[in-house]
Chain A
Protein backbone atom coordinates (compact mmCIF):
# COMPACT_ATOMS: atom_id res chain seq x y z
CA UNK A 1 0.00 0.00 0.00
CA UNK A 2 2.79 2.39 0.88
CA UNK A 3 4.38 1.75 -2.52
CA UNK A 4 1.17 2.65 -4.34
CA UNK A 5 0.85 5.81 -2.30
CA UNK A 6 4.50 6.66 -2.90
CA UNK A 7 3.93 6.57 -6.66
CA UNK A 8 0.71 8.55 -6.30
CA UNK A 9 2.46 11.22 -4.23
CA UNK A 10 5.38 11.36 -6.65
CA UNK A 11 2.93 11.72 -9.52
CA UNK A 12 1.09 14.52 -7.73
CA UNK A 13 4.32 16.42 -7.05
CA UNK A 14 5.40 16.04 -10.68
CA UNK A 15 1.99 17.09 -11.96
CA UNK A 16 1.92 20.04 -9.56
CA UNK A 17 5.33 21.28 -10.69
CA UNK A 18 4.33 20.89 -14.34
CA UNK A 19 1.16 22.89 -13.76
CA UNK A 20 3.01 25.60 -11.82
CA UNK A 21 5.35 26.09 -14.75
CA UNK A 22 2.48 26.65 -17.19
CA UNK A 23 1.98 30.18 -18.42
CA UNK A 24 -1.73 30.23 -17.67
CA UNK A 25 -2.27 31.58 -14.18
CA UNK A 26 -5.41 29.51 -13.68
CA UNK A 27 -3.46 26.31 -14.31
CA UNK A 28 -0.78 27.59 -12.01
CA UNK A 29 -3.26 27.90 -9.14
CA UNK A 30 -4.40 24.33 -9.85
CA UNK A 31 -0.76 23.28 -9.60
CA UNK A 32 -0.46 24.97 -6.22
CA UNK A 33 -3.56 23.13 -5.01
CA UNK A 34 -2.09 19.82 -6.20
CA UNK A 35 1.15 20.63 -4.41
CA UNK A 36 -0.68 20.94 -1.10
CA UNK A 37 -2.56 17.67 -1.72
CA UNK A 38 0.71 15.90 -2.41
CA UNK A 39 2.20 17.26 0.81
CA UNK A 40 -0.81 16.22 2.87
CA UNK A 41 -0.76 12.72 1.46
CA UNK A 42 2.97 12.50 2.14
CA UNK A 43 2.46 13.36 5.82
CA UNK A 44 -0.38 10.85 5.97
CA UNK A 45 1.86 8.13 4.54
CA UNK A 46 4.91 8.82 6.70
CA UNK A 47 2.66 8.57 9.76
CA UNK A 48 2.47 4.84 9.06
CA UNK A 49 -0.32 3.03 7.20
CA UNK A 50 -1.73 0.64 9.77
CA UNK A 51 -5.13 -0.86 10.39
CA UNK A 52 -5.14 0.08 14.02
CA UNK A 53 -7.44 1.22 16.75
CA UNK A 54 -7.90 4.88 17.68
CA UNK A 55 -5.38 5.95 20.33
CA UNK A 56 -7.90 6.03 23.16
CA UNK A 57 -6.87 5.09 26.67
CA UNK A 58 -9.28 2.74 28.38
CA UNK A 59 -10.37 3.80 31.85
CA UNK A 60 -7.91 2.57 34.43
CA UNK A 61 -5.08 2.04 31.93
CA UNK A 62 -2.13 4.44 31.59
CA UNK A 63 -1.49 3.96 27.87
CA UNK A 64 -3.58 2.93 24.84
CA UNK A 65 -3.69 -0.76 23.95
CA UNK A 66 -1.55 -1.54 20.89
CA UNK A 67 -1.93 -1.52 17.95
CA UNK A 68 -3.05 2.08 17.83
CA UNK A 69 -2.72 4.70 15.10
CA UNK A 70 -0.48 7.75 15.46
CA UNK A 71 -2.83 10.74 15.77
CA UNK A 72 -0.23 13.46 15.21
CA UNK A 73 0.02 13.25 11.38
CA UNK A 74 -3.74 13.50 11.13
CA UNK A 75 -3.74 16.61 13.31
CA UNK A 76 -0.99 18.07 11.14
CA UNK A 77 -2.90 17.35 7.95
CA UNK A 78 -6.09 18.83 9.34
CA UNK A 79 -4.24 22.05 10.18
CA UNK A 80 -2.49 22.08 6.82
CA UNK A 81 -5.78 21.56 4.95
CA UNK A 82 -7.40 24.48 6.73
CA UNK A 83 -4.42 26.72 6.02
CA UNK A 84 -4.13 25.74 2.37
CA UNK A 85 -7.88 26.18 1.92
CA UNK A 86 -7.67 29.74 3.19
CA UNK A 87 -4.60 30.60 1.19
CA UNK A 88 -5.97 29.10 -2.02
CA UNK A 89 -9.26 30.94 -1.61
CA UNK A 90 -7.27 34.15 -1.37
CA UNK A 91 -5.14 33.18 -4.37
CA UNK A 92 -8.24 32.51 -6.50
CA UNK A 93 -9.68 35.94 -5.67
CA UNK A 94 -6.28 37.46 -6.41
CA UNK A 95 -6.02 35.93 -9.89
CA UNK A 96 -9.61 36.94 -10.58
CA UNK A 97 -8.71 40.54 -9.72
CA UNK A 98 -5.46 40.33 -11.65
CA UNK A 99 -7.31 38.99 -14.67
CA UNK A 100 -9.81 41.82 -14.46
CA UNK A 101 -7.17 44.53 -14.24
CA UNK A 102 -4.51 43.11 -16.59
CA UNK A 103 -6.96 41.42 -18.96
CA UNK A 104 -4.86 38.34 -19.58
CA UNK A 105 -4.43 34.80 -18.33
CA UNK A 106 -0.81 34.65 -19.48
CA UNK A 107 1.81 35.12 -16.77
CA UNK A 108 4.24 36.35 -19.46
CA UNK A 109 2.25 39.58 -19.56
CA UNK A 110 2.76 40.28 -15.87
CA UNK A 111 5.94 42.24 -16.47
CA UNK A 112 4.83 45.58 -15.02
CA UNK A 113 6.87 45.19 -11.86
CA UNK A 114 10.14 43.99 -13.32
CA UNK A 115 11.48 47.52 -13.88
CA UNK A 116 13.96 48.37 -16.63
CA UNK A 117 16.21 45.41 -17.14
Chain B
Protein backbone atom coordinates (compact mmCIF):
# COMPACT_ATOMS: atom_id res chain seq x y z
CA UNK B 1 0.00 0.00 0.00
CA UNK B 2 2.20 2.85 -1.26
CA UNK B 3 -0.80 5.16 -1.07
CA UNK B 4 -0.12 5.86 2.60
CA UNK B 5 3.21 7.50 1.81
CA UNK B 6 1.89 9.78 -0.94
CA UNK B 7 0.72 12.61 1.40
CA UNK B 8 4.33 12.77 2.61
CA UNK B 9 6.17 12.20 -0.67
CA UNK B 10 4.13 14.53 -2.91
CA UNK B 11 4.80 17.70 -0.84
CA UNK B 12 8.42 16.63 -0.43
CA UNK B 13 9.14 16.30 -4.15
CA UNK B 14 7.17 19.45 -4.90
CA UNK B 15 9.35 21.25 -2.31
CA UNK B 16 12.57 19.95 -3.88
CA UNK B 17 11.43 21.02 -7.36
CA UNK B 18 10.36 24.41 -6.03
CA UNK B 19 13.80 24.90 -4.48
CA UNK B 20 15.44 24.23 -7.84
CA UNK B 21 13.03 26.20 -10.00
CA UNK B 22 13.20 29.76 -8.69
CA UNK B 23 10.60 31.34 -10.96
CA UNK B 24 7.81 32.86 -8.79
CA UNK B 25 4.93 31.65 -10.88
CA UNK B 26 6.45 28.19 -11.28
CA UNK B 27 6.92 27.90 -7.52
CA UNK B 28 3.31 28.81 -6.94
CA UNK B 29 2.11 26.26 -9.48
CA UNK B 30 4.35 23.60 -7.90
CA UNK B 31 3.01 24.42 -4.44
CA UNK B 32 -0.54 24.17 -5.76
CA UNK B 33 0.27 20.80 -7.36
CA UNK B 34 1.90 19.62 -4.11
CA UNK B 35 -1.05 20.70 -1.97
CA UNK B 36 -3.57 19.37 -4.50
CA UNK B 37 -1.75 16.05 -4.71
CA UNK B 38 -1.72 15.86 -0.93
CA UNK B 39 -5.48 16.47 -0.83
CA UNK B 40 -6.19 13.96 -3.59
CA UNK B 41 -4.09 11.20 -2.02
CA UNK B 42 -5.63 11.90 1.40
CA UNK B 43 -9.14 11.55 -0.03
CA UNK B 44 -7.96 8.31 -1.63
CA UNK B 45 -6.74 7.05 1.75
CA UNK B 46 -10.03 7.97 3.41
CA UNK B 47 -11.93 6.08 0.72
CA UNK B 48 -9.75 2.99 1.12
CA UNK B 49 -10.04 3.13 4.92
CA UNK B 50 -13.82 3.41 4.65
CA UNK B 51 -13.90 0.39 2.33
CA UNK B 52 -11.25 -1.95 3.78
CA UNK B 53 -10.61 -0.82 7.36
CA UNK B 54 -7.30 0.31 8.85
CA UNK B 55 -4.41 0.53 6.39
CA UNK B 56 -0.82 -0.22 7.41
CA UNK B 57 2.51 -0.01 5.62
CA UNK B 58 5.79 -1.27 7.06
CA UNK B 59 8.60 0.91 5.74
CA UNK B 60 11.58 -1.14 4.48
CA UNK B 61 9.54 -4.33 4.88
CA UNK B 62 10.65 -4.90 8.47
CA UNK B 63 7.83 -6.62 10.37
CA UNK B 64 5.83 -4.48 12.76
CA UNK B 65 7.40 -3.92 16.15
CA UNK B 66 10.92 -3.64 14.65
CA UNK B 67 10.49 -1.43 11.61
CA UNK B 68 8.62 1.85 11.37
CA UNK B 69 4.92 1.53 10.60
CA UNK B 70 2.66 4.02 8.91
CA UNK B 71 -0.96 3.57 9.85
CA UNK B 72 -4.14 5.19 8.59
CA UNK B 73 -7.33 4.73 10.57
CA UNK B 74 -10.38 6.97 10.23
CA UNK B 75 -8.93 9.71 12.45
CA UNK B 76 -5.60 9.86 10.58
CA UNK B 77 -7.33 9.86 7.21
CA UNK B 78 -9.81 12.59 8.21
CA UNK B 79 -7.02 14.78 9.59
CA UNK B 80 -4.91 14.35 6.44
CA UNK B 81 -7.85 15.32 4.25
CA UNK B 82 -8.40 18.45 6.34
CA UNK B 83 -4.68 19.24 6.06
CA UNK B 84 -4.96 18.98 2.28
CA UNK B 85 -8.00 21.28 2.13
CA UNK B 86 -6.32 24.00 4.18
CA UNK B 87 -3.05 23.63 2.25
CA UNK B 88 -4.79 24.18 -1.09
CA UNK B 89 -6.72 27.20 0.23
CA UNK B 90 -3.61 28.77 1.77
CA UNK B 91 -1.43 28.24 -1.32
CA UNK B 92 -4.15 29.81 -3.45
CA UNK B 93 -4.44 32.74 -1.06
CA UNK B 94 -0.66 33.22 -0.93
CA UNK B 95 -0.42 34.18 -4.60
CA UNK B 96 -1.82 37.65 -4.01
CA UNK B 97 -0.96 38.11 -0.35
CA UNK B 98 2.69 37.10 0.12
CA UNK B 99 5.35 39.56 -1.03
CA UNK B 100 8.19 38.93 -3.48
CA UNK B 101 10.92 38.94 -0.88
CA UNK B 102 9.40 36.11 1.13
CA UNK B 103 8.86 34.08 -2.01
CA UNK B 104 12.51 34.62 -2.98
CA UNK B 105 13.65 33.32 0.40
CA UNK B 106 11.81 30.06 -0.07
CA UNK B 107 8.27 30.63 1.17
CA UNK B 108 6.65 27.93 -0.97
CA UNK B 109 9.23 25.15 -0.38
CA UNK B 110 8.94 25.78 3.38
CA UNK B 111 5.16 25.64 3.19
CA UNK B 112 5.40 22.28 1.43
CA UNK B 113 7.90 20.91 3.96
CA UNK B 114 5.53 22.02 6.72
CA UNK B 115 2.71 20.11 5.04
CA UNK B 116 4.96 17.05 4.75
CA UNK B 117 5.64 17.20 8.50
CA UNK B 118 1.93 17.57 9.28
CA UNK B 119 0.95 14.59 7.09
CA UNK B 120 3.78 12.53 8.57
CA UNK B 121 2.56 13.26 12.10
CA UNK B 122 -0.95 12.13 11.20
CA UNK B 123 0.08 8.92 9.50
CA UNK B 124 2.96 7.53 11.54
CA UNK B 125 2.44 4.57 13.84
CA UNK B 126 5.66 4.95 15.80
CA UNK B 127 6.03 7.25 18.77
CA UNK B 128 9.64 8.25 18.08
CA UNK B 129 8.80 8.80 14.44
CA UNK B 130 6.02 11.09 15.65
CA UNK B 131 8.67 13.13 17.45
CA UNK B 132 10.72 13.35 14.24
CA UNK B 133 7.71 14.54 12.20
CA UNK B 134 6.91 17.09 14.89
CA UNK B 135 10.44 18.43 14.52
CA UNK B 136 10.19 18.56 10.70
CA UNK B 137 6.98 20.50 11.08
CA UNK B 138 8.35 22.80 13.79
CA UNK B 139 11.56 23.56 11.92
CA UNK B 140 9.61 24.67 8.85
CA UNK B 141 7.20 26.64 11.01
CA UNK B 142 10.07 28.36 12.87
CA UNK B 143 11.45 29.68 9.60
CA UNK B 144 8.00 30.64 8.29
CA UNK B 145 7.27 32.68 11.44
CA UNK B 146 10.61 34.50 11.22
CA UNK B 147 10.73 34.84 7.42
CA UNK B 148 10.72 38.53 6.57
CA UNK B 149 12.79 39.66 9.56
CA UNK B 150 10.41 42.31 10.82
CA UNK B 151 10.96 43.25 14.44
CA UNK B 152 7.63 41.92 15.66
CA UNK B 153 8.22 38.71 13.75
CA UNK B 154 11.59 38.15 15.39
CA UNK B 155 10.14 38.72 18.85
CA UNK B 156 7.21 36.42 18.16
CA UNK B 157 9.45 33.78 16.60
CA UNK B 158 11.79 33.89 19.57
CA UNK B 159 8.96 33.04 21.97
CA UNK B 160 7.54 30.43 19.62
CA UNK B 161 10.90 28.69 19.16
CA UNK B 162 11.78 28.69 22.85
CA UNK B 163 8.49 27.27 24.09
CA UNK B 164 8.44 24.63 21.37
CA UNK B 165 11.99 23.51 22.12
CA UNK B 166 11.07 23.04 25.76
CA UNK B 167 7.98 21.09 24.77
CA UNK B 168 10.00 18.90 22.39
CA UNK B 169 12.54 18.14 25.12
CA UNK B 170 9.72 17.01 27.45
CA UNK B 171 8.22 14.92 24.63
CA UNK B 172 11.57 13.24 23.93
CA UNK B 173 12.19 12.59 27.64
CA UNK B 174 8.78 10.95 27.88
CA UNK B 175 9.52 8.79 24.81
CA UNK B 176 12.81 7.69 26.43
CA UNK B 177 11.06 6.77 29.68
CA UNK B 178 8.36 4.93 27.77
CA UNK B 179 11.05 2.90 26.01
CA UNK B 180 12.64 2.05 29.34
CA UNK B 181 9.30 0.76 30.68
CA UNK B 182 8.21 -1.22 27.63
CA UNK B 183 11.21 -1.72 25.33
CA UNK B 184 9.26 -0.73 22.24
CA UNK B 185 8.37 2.39 20.27
CA UNK B 186 5.67 1.06 17.95
CA UNK B 187 2.38 2.54 19.17
CA UNK B 188 0.35 -0.60 18.60
CA UNK B 189 2.95 -2.68 20.46
CA UNK B 190 3.11 -0.03 23.20
CA UNK B 191 -0.63 -0.32 23.62
CA UNK B 192 -0.25 -4.01 24.53
CA UNK B 193 2.86 -3.56 26.65
CA UNK B 194 1.42 -0.68 28.67
CA UNK B 195 -1.74 -2.62 29.44
CA UNK B 196 0.35 -5.18 31.31
CA UNK B 197 3.09 -2.85 32.58
CA UNK B 198 4.42 -3.62 36.04
CA UNK B 199 4.85 -0.02 37.18
CA UNK B 200 1.48 1.74 36.84
CA UNK B 201 2.72 4.80 38.74
CA UNK B 202 5.60 5.33 36.34
CA UNK B 203 3.24 4.92 33.41
CA UNK B 204 0.99 7.65 34.79
CA UNK B 205 4.00 9.94 35.27
CA UNK B 206 4.93 9.41 31.62
CA UNK B 207 1.31 10.03 30.62
CA UNK B 208 1.40 13.40 32.39
CA UNK B 209 4.68 14.25 30.65
CA UNK B 210 2.98 13.61 27.31
CA UNK B 211 0.06 15.72 28.49
CA UNK B 212 2.41 18.61 29.27
CA UNK B 213 4.42 18.26 26.05
CA UNK B 214 1.35 18.18 23.82
CA UNK B 215 -0.47 20.62 26.11
CA UNK B 216 2.18 23.22 25.29
CA UNK B 217 1.81 22.54 21.57
CA UNK B 218 -1.98 22.83 21.58
CA UNK B 219 -1.98 25.84 23.94
CA UNK B 220 -3.91 24.09 26.69
CA UNK B 221 -4.42 25.96 29.98
CA UNK B 222 -1.98 26.87 31.63
CA UNK B 223 0.43 26.66 28.68
CA UNK B 224 -1.43 28.94 26.27
CA UNK B 225 0.37 32.29 26.71
CA UNK B 226 2.78 31.85 23.80
CA UNK B 227 0.09 31.47 21.14
CA UNK B 228 -1.40 34.98 20.96
CA UNK B 229 2.13 36.39 21.21
CA UNK B 230 3.51 34.50 18.24
CA UNK B 231 0.82 33.48 15.75
CA UNK B 232 -0.30 36.96 14.69
CA UNK B 233 3.19 38.14 13.69
CA UNK B 234 3.57 35.93 10.61
CA UNK B 235 2.13 36.76 7.17
CA UNK B 236 -1.60 36.14 7.37
CA UNK B 237 -1.62 33.14 5.00
CA UNK B 238 0.85 31.44 7.35
CA UNK B 239 -1.12 32.42 10.44
CA UNK B 240 -4.20 30.86 8.86
CA UNK B 241 -2.33 27.62 8.20
CA UNK B 242 -0.93 27.53 11.74
CA UNK B 243 -4.29 28.39 13.28
CA UNK B 244 -6.06 25.74 11.27
CA UNK B 245 -3.56 22.93 11.47
CA UNK B 246 -0.61 23.22 13.84
CA UNK B 247 -2.46 23.21 17.14
CA UNK B 248 -4.74 20.50 15.76
CA UNK B 249 -1.72 18.26 15.13
CA UNK B 250 -1.19 18.52 18.88
CA UNK B 251 -4.86 17.70 19.51
CA UNK B 252 -4.49 14.69 17.21
CA UNK B 253 -1.44 13.53 19.17
CA UNK B 254 -3.31 14.00 22.47
CA UNK B 255 -6.27 11.97 21.19
CA UNK B 256 -3.95 9.28 19.85
CA UNK B 257 -1.91 8.76 23.03
CA UNK B 258 -4.85 9.09 25.39
CA UNK B 259 -6.98 6.56 23.52
CA UNK B 260 -4.34 4.08 22.36
CA UNK B 261 -1.63 4.21 25.01
CA UNK B 262 -2.70 5.72 28.32
CA UNK B 263 -6.04 4.29 29.29
CA UNK B 264 -4.90 2.60 32.51
CA UNK B 265 -5.88 5.35 34.93
CA UNK B 266 -8.75 7.07 33.21
CA UNK B 267 -10.11 8.38 36.51
CA UNK B 268 -6.98 10.43 37.02
CA UNK B 269 -5.72 11.39 33.55
CA UNK B 270 -9.03 12.05 31.83
CA UNK B 271 -10.50 13.95 34.77
CA UNK B 272 -7.41 16.14 34.73
CA UNK B 273 -7.97 16.68 31.02
CA UNK B 274 -11.59 17.63 31.70
CA UNK B 275 -10.65 20.27 34.27
CA UNK B 276 -7.97 21.67 31.98
CA UNK B 277 -10.36 21.77 29.04
CA UNK B 278 -12.90 23.82 31.02
CA UNK B 279 -10.23 26.28 32.13
CA UNK B 280 -8.84 26.47 28.58
CA UNK B 281 -12.24 27.39 27.16
CA UNK B 282 -12.81 30.08 29.76
CA UNK B 283 -9.38 31.74 29.68
CA UNK B 284 -9.33 31.72 25.88
CA UNK B 285 -12.68 33.38 25.48
CA UNK B 286 -12.10 35.92 28.26
CA UNK B 287 -8.72 36.77 26.75
CA UNK B 288 -10.42 37.34 23.41
CA UNK B 289 -13.04 39.61 24.95
CA UNK B 290 -10.34 42.02 26.16
CA UNK B 291 -8.54 42.32 22.83
CA UNK B 292 -9.06 44.91 20.10
CA UNK B 293 -6.92 43.57 17.30
CA UNK B 294 -8.48 41.32 14.67
CA UNK B 295 -5.84 38.59 14.65
CA UNK B 296 -5.29 38.61 18.41
CA UNK B 297 -9.02 38.13 19.05
CA UNK B 298 -8.99 35.17 16.68
CA UNK B 299 -5.82 33.77 18.29
CA UNK B 300 -7.41 33.76 21.72
CA UNK B 301 -10.41 32.01 20.22
CA UNK B 302 -8.13 29.21 18.99
CA UNK B 303 -7.31 28.56 22.64
CA UNK B 304 -10.92 28.48 23.77
CA UNK B 305 -11.86 26.19 20.88
CA UNK B 306 -9.06 23.77 21.76
CA UNK B 307 -10.87 23.41 25.07
CA UNK B 308 -13.94 21.95 23.33
CA UNK B 309 -11.89 19.32 21.51
CA UNK B 310 -10.03 18.26 24.63
CA UNK B 311 -13.36 18.18 26.48
CA UNK B 312 -14.58 15.56 24.01
CA UNK B 313 -11.45 13.50 24.60
CA UNK B 314 -11.72 13.87 28.37
CA UNK B 315 -15.34 12.69 28.59
CA UNK B 316 -14.17 9.53 26.82
CA UNK B 317 -17.47 8.15 25.59
CA UNK B 318 -18.20 7.24 21.95
CA UNK B 319 -20.52 10.22 21.57
CA UNK B 320 -18.06 12.65 23.15
CA UNK B 321 -15.14 11.51 21.01
CA UNK B 322 -17.33 11.72 17.91
CA UNK B 323 -18.19 15.26 19.02
CA UNK B 324 -14.51 16.10 19.42
CA UNK B 325 -13.71 14.83 15.92
CA UNK B 326 -16.70 16.68 14.46
CA UNK B 327 -15.45 19.76 16.27
CA UNK B 328 -11.98 19.39 14.75
CA UNK B 329 -13.44 19.07 11.25
CA UNK B 330 -15.59 22.15 11.77
CA UNK B 331 -12.94 24.18 13.54
CA UNK B 332 -10.02 23.71 11.12
CA UNK B 333 -12.06 25.04 8.21
CA UNK B 334 -13.75 27.88 10.09
CA UNK B 335 -10.65 29.13 11.87
CA UNK B 336 -8.38 29.16 8.83
CA UNK B 337 -11.13 30.99 6.96
CA UNK B 338 -11.51 33.70 9.62
CA UNK B 339 -7.78 34.40 9.50
CA UNK B 340 -7.86 34.59 5.70
CA UNK B 341 -10.71 37.11 5.98
CA UNK B 342 -8.67 39.20 8.42
CA UNK B 343 -5.96 39.17 5.75
CA UNK B 344 -8.37 40.41 3.09
CA UNK B 345 -9.54 43.18 5.44
CA UNK B 346 -5.92 44.16 6.10
CA UNK B 347 -5.28 44.20 2.38
CA UNK B 348 -8.24 46.53 1.85
CA UNK B 349 -7.82 48.92 4.78
CA UNK B 350 -4.20 48.53 5.86
CA UNK B 351 -4.71 47.63 9.51
CA UNK B 352 -5.69 44.89 11.93
CA UNK B 353 -6.68 47.31 14.72
CA UNK B 354 -10.47 47.35 15.04
CA UNK B 355 -10.52 51.10 15.74
CA UNK B 356 -9.00 51.91 12.32
CA UNK B 357 -11.34 49.64 10.39
CA UNK B 358 -14.95 50.04 9.33
CA UNK B 359 -17.54 50.45 6.63
CA UNK B 360 -16.88 47.18 4.86
CA UNK B 361 -20.52 46.14 4.90
CA UNK B 362 -21.30 49.02 2.56
CA UNK B 363 -18.22 48.76 0.36
CA UNK B 364 -17.67 44.98 0.23
CA UNK B 365 -20.97 43.26 0.87
CA UNK B 366 -19.71 39.87 -0.32
CA UNK B 367 -16.84 39.92 2.16
CA UNK B 368 -19.26 40.79 4.98
CA UNK B 369 -21.44 37.80 4.15
CA UNK B 370 -18.39 35.55 3.90
CA UNK B 371 -17.24 36.73 7.33
CA UNK B 372 -20.63 36.20 8.87
CA UNK B 373 -20.78 32.51 7.89
CA UNK B 374 -17.64 31.27 9.71
CA UNK B 375 -18.12 33.77 12.56
CA UNK B 376 -21.63 32.55 13.33
CA UNK B 377 -20.49 28.98 12.87
CA UNK B 378 -17.71 29.54 15.43
CA UNK B 379 -20.24 30.86 17.91
CA UNK B 380 -22.52 27.89 17.24
CA UNK B 381 -25.57 29.37 15.53
CA UNK B 382 -27.76 26.70 13.87
CA UNK B 383 -27.74 25.33 11.23
CA UNK B 384 -24.01 26.00 10.71
CA UNK B 385 -21.34 23.42 11.46
CA UNK B 386 -20.35 24.81 14.90
CA UNK B 387 -23.86 24.32 16.26
CA UNK B 388 -23.85 20.56 15.60
CA UNK B 389 -20.35 20.15 16.99
CA UNK B 390 -21.28 21.90 20.24
CA UNK B 391 -24.66 20.19 20.42
CA UNK B 392 -23.04 16.73 20.30
CA UNK B 393 -20.41 17.63 22.91
CA UNK B 394 -22.90 19.15 25.35
CA UNK B 395 -25.27 16.24 24.95
CA UNK B 396 -22.37 13.85 25.60
CA UNK B 397 -21.46 15.69 28.79
CA UNK B 398 -25.04 15.39 30.12
CA UNK B 399 -25.05 11.68 29.32
CA UNK B 400 -22.14 11.04 31.68
CA UNK B 401 -23.51 13.42 34.28
CA UNK B 402 -21.04 16.26 33.92
CA UNK B 403 -23.34 19.31 33.88
CA UNK B 404 -20.58 21.69 34.99
CA UNK B 405 -18.53 21.27 31.82
CA UNK B 406 -21.73 21.57 29.76
CA UNK B 407 -22.50 24.88 31.49
CA UNK B 408 -18.96 26.13 30.84
CA UNK B 409 -19.25 25.15 27.17
CA UNK B 410 -22.54 27.06 26.84
CA UNK B 411 -21.26 30.19 28.58
CA UNK B 412 -18.11 30.17 26.44
CA UNK B 413 -20.25 29.89 23.33
CA UNK B 414 -22.21 33.00 24.29
CA UNK B 415 -18.99 34.89 24.94
CA UNK B 416 -17.72 33.73 21.54
CA UNK B 417 -20.81 35.27 20.00
CA UNK B 418 -19.97 38.49 21.86
CA UNK B 419 -16.48 38.56 20.33
CA UNK B 420 -17.73 37.83 16.84
CA UNK B 421 -20.40 40.55 17.01
CA UNK B 422 -17.70 42.92 18.26
CA UNK B 423 -15.66 42.27 15.12
CA UNK B 424 -18.80 42.49 13.00
CA UNK B 425 -19.85 45.82 14.49
CA UNK B 426 -16.38 47.37 14.35
CA UNK B 427 -15.12 46.13 11.00
CA UNK B 428 -18.27 45.86 8.90
CA UNK B 429 -21.06 47.86 10.51
CA UNK B 430 -19.67 51.13 11.84
CA UNK B 431 -18.56 53.94 9.50
CA UNK B 432 -14.90 54.03 8.67
CA UNK B 433 -13.00 56.49 10.91
CA UNK B 434 -11.60 59.56 9.14
CA UNK B 435 -8.07 59.26 10.52
CA UNK B 436 -7.15 56.07 8.73
CA UNK B 437 -4.77 55.52 5.82
CA UNK B 438 -6.21 55.32 2.31
CA UNK B 439 -8.01 52.28 1.10
CA UNK B 440 -5.64 50.25 -1.00
CA UNK B 441 -6.55 49.46 -4.52
CA UNK B 442 -6.95 45.86 -5.51
CA UNK B 443 -7.03 44.78 -9.11
CA UNK B 444 -10.01 42.54 -9.92
CA UNK B 445 -7.58 39.66 -10.52
CA UNK B 446 -6.05 39.97 -7.06
CA UNK B 447 -9.46 40.36 -5.45
CA UNK B 448 -10.52 37.12 -7.09
CA UNK B 449 -7.39 35.32 -5.87
CA UNK B 450 -8.09 36.45 -2.32
CA UNK B 451 -11.82 35.86 -2.26
CA UNK B 452 -12.02 32.47 -3.99
CA UNK B 453 -10.39 30.42 -1.18
CA UNK B 454 -12.43 32.33 1.42
CA UNK B 455 -15.65 31.63 -0.45
CA UNK B 456 -14.70 27.97 -0.95
CA UNK B 457 -14.07 27.45 2.78
CA UNK B 458 -17.30 29.28 3.68
CA UNK B 459 -19.19 26.98 1.31
CA UNK B 460 -17.61 23.98 3.03
CA UNK B 461 -18.76 25.34 6.40
CA UNK B 462 -22.33 25.57 5.14
CA UNK B 463 -22.05 22.12 3.58
CA UNK B 464 -20.88 20.58 6.86
CA UNK B 465 -23.81 22.25 8.60
CA UNK B 466 -26.37 21.01 6.09
CA UNK B 467 -24.84 17.55 5.73
CA UNK B 468 -24.29 17.16 9.45
CA UNK B 469 -25.67 13.63 9.41
CA UNK B 470 -23.02 11.99 7.14
CA UNK B 471 -20.19 13.99 8.73
CA UNK B 472 -21.35 12.95 12.17
CA UNK B 473 -21.61 9.39 10.98
CA UNK B 474 -17.99 9.53 9.81
CA UNK B 475 -16.89 11.06 13.15
CA UNK B 476 -18.66 8.42 15.17
CA UNK B 477 -17.10 5.64 13.12
CA UNK B 478 -13.70 7.23 13.80
CA UNK B 479 -14.58 7.47 17.50
CA UNK B 480 -15.65 3.85 17.83
CA UNK B 481 -12.40 2.83 16.13
CA UNK B 482 -10.46 4.87 18.70
CA UNK B 483 -12.31 3.30 21.60
CA UNK B 484 -11.57 -0.23 20.38
CA UNK B 485 -7.77 -0.17 20.05
CA UNK B 486 -7.67 -3.93 19.40
CA UNK B 487 -8.53 -3.25 15.76
CA UNK B 488 -5.59 -0.85 15.41
CA UNK B 489 -3.24 -3.22 17.20
CA UNK B 490 -4.13 -6.28 15.15
CA UNK B 491 -3.96 -4.29 11.90
CA UNK B 492 -0.40 -3.19 12.70
CA UNK B 493 1.01 -6.30 14.30
CA UNK B 494 -0.80 -8.77 12.08
CA UNK B 495 -1.35 -12.16 13.63
CA UNK B 496 1.24 -11.54 16.38
CA UNK B 497 -0.72 -11.07 19.64
Contacts and interface: CB of A to CB of B under 8 A. Distances in A.
B230 interface: yes
A2 B257 CA distance: 29
Contacts of B139: 86-87, 90
Nearest to A32: B165
Interface in A61-110: 72-73, 76, 79-80, 83, 86-87, 90-91, 94-95, 97-98, 101-102, 107, 110
Given A42-B173, A46-B176, A115-B296, A98 B158 contact: yes
Interface string B268-296: 00000000000000000000000111001
Given A94-B146, A101-B149, A102-B151, A28 B172 contact: no
Interface residues of A, number: 36
A93 to B, nearest CB: 9
A80 B177 CA distance: 15
A111 B138 CA distance: 23
Contacts of B155: 98, 102, 110-113
B233 interface: yes
B161 A94 contact: yes
A19 B151 CA distance: 25
Which DSSP category, helix, strand, loop or mixed, fits chain B's interface? helix
Contacts of B176: 39, 42-43, 46, 73, 76
Contact of A39 (B156, B173, B232, B296): B173
Interface in B140-181: 142-143, 146, 149, 151-152, 154-159, 161-162, 165-166, 168-169, 172-173, 175-177, 179-180
A90 B142 contact: yes
B486 interface: no
Contacts of A111: 155
Given A20-B166, A94-B146, A113-B230, A76 B158 contact: no
A25 B158 contact: yes
Contact of A83 (B135, B151, B166): B135
Interface in A4-62: 20, 25, 28, 32, 35-36, 38-39, 42-43, 46-47
Nearest to A86: B139
B130 interface: no
Given A94-B157, A98-B154, 9 more contacts: A20-B166, A32-B166, A32-B169, A76-B175, A98-B155, A107-B158, A110-B155, A112-B152, A115-B296
Interface of A: 20, 25, 28, 32, 35-36, 38-39, 42-43, 46-47, 72-73, 76, 79-80, 83, 86-87, 90-91, 94-95, 97-98, 101-102, 107, 110-116
Report, nearest first, the 7 A-B pairs whose CB atoms are least far apart. Answer: A46-B180, A43-B176, A98-B154, A35-B169, A110-B155, A113-B156, A113-B229
